[in-house]
């Protein structure tokens, strides 16, 4: 997935369909600024990192689990491909991407939303 593809005021949401929990939201503010919100779990279902609403990422973002597994990497602008591994609170892998190739597994729901 590429960051910066949303229209102003829109987001792409990655949702655990078994709990309806939003794990990752990539948005574009009304002013055209790329923003992100996330709640990231590791393979054991432990909460690793979360944001309190949307946040800009002028320096990029990198979140790594305690075992060294990369959970989220967003490069600084200009935006490019992001890498992620999204687990739910049960430790089930829902989707992963290395920035070039994306895999989708059961219990992932993606939707466009207005912010």
Q: What is d(CA 17, CA 84) in angstroms, rounded to the nearest whole number? A: 18
- Asked if 107 contacts 88 with a C-beta cutoff of 8 angstroms, the reply is yes
Name the pTM for this structure. 0.88
Per-residue pLDDT tens for 24-56? 999 888 888 889 999 999 999 999 999 999 998
> Do 36 and 27 touch, CB atoms closer than 8 A?
yes
Query: Tens digit of pLDDT for each residue in 54-92?
Result: 998 889 999 999 999 999 999 887 667 899 999 999 999
Q: Are 54 and 61 in contact (CB under 8 A)?
A: no
Q: Which residues in 28-65 are b (16+ Cβ under 10 Å) and which e? A: bbeeeebbbbbbbbbeeeeebeeeeebeebeeebebeb
């Amino acid at each position: 997935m590429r960051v910066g593809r949303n229209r102003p005021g829109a987001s792409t949401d990655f949702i655990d369909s078994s709990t309806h929990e939003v794990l990752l939201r990539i948005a574009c503010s009304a002013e055209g600024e790329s923003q992100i919100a996330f709640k990231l779990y590791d393979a054991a279902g432990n909460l690793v990192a979360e944001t309190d609403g949307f946040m800009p990422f002028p320096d990029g973002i990198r979140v790594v689990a305690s075992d060294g597994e990369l959970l989220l990497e967003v490069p600084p602008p200009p935006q490019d491909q992001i890498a992620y591994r999204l687990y739910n609170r049960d430790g089930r892998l829902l989707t992963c991407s290395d920035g070039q190739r994306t895999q989708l597994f059961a219990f992932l729901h993606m939707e466009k939303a207005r912010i």
